């Protein structure tokens, strides 16, 4: 039974690019343009108000931050807490599901420290003498 299931999966993977790479769904969720800085900031600094997040991230627009926070809340990566005060206060924090990505981010940070200079050198070499 497993072999038939595996053969079906392989056949489906040949026609569906998302099945060809089982991590594509994860990449879509975690590595969209602003997701990583938002999750990194919440993991590092804890619960944040919208304005605090916006200041820490720096270059994100309020509209985009709102959109990404809503998506992250929908995906279960962020918890939004509404405080019915005057004026109302909303805070965001990383969820346990989002926090479970911390080892992945740590490995990526380590990879970056070890390899980004090599990437920059490769880019420089390519730009200096592009393939013909």
Please provide the CATH number assigned to the domain covering 34-114. Answer: 1.10.10.10
Contact 38, 57 (CB under 8 A): yes
- Is this model's pTM higher than 0.75 or not? no
Owner of token pair 């807490």: 81
Q: What is the dihedral of CA 105, 98, 74, 46, to 10 degrees?
A: -100
Beta bridge partners of 80: 92
Q: Convert the pLDDT of each residue in 18-71 to its tens digit.
A: 666 777 788 888 788 899 999 999 999 999 999 999 999 989 999 999 999 999
Q: Kindly report each contact of residues 119-125 with a partner whose C-beta sits within 8 Å and lies 24 or more positions away, as own/partner.
A: none
Q: Convert the pLDDT of each residue in 78-115 to its tens digit.
A: 999 999 999 889 999 999 999 998 888 889 889 999 99
């Amino acid at each position: 039974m497993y072999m038939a299931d595996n053969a079906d999966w392989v056949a489906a993977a040949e026609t569906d690019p998302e099945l060809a790479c089982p991590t594509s769904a994860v990449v879509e969720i975690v590595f969209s343009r602003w997701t990583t800085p938002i999750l990194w900031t919440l993991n590092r600094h804890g619960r944040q108000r919208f304005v605090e997040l916006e200041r820490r991230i720096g270059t994100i627009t309020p509209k985009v931050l709102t959109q990404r926070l809503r998506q992250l809340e929908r995906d279960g990566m962020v918890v939004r807490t509404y405080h019915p005060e005057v004026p109302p206060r909303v805070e965001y924090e990383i969820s346990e599901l989002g926090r479970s990505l911390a080892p992945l981010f740590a490995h990526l940070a380590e990879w970056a420290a070890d390899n980004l200079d090599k990437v920059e050198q490769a880019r420089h070499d390519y730009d200096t003498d592009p393939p013909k």
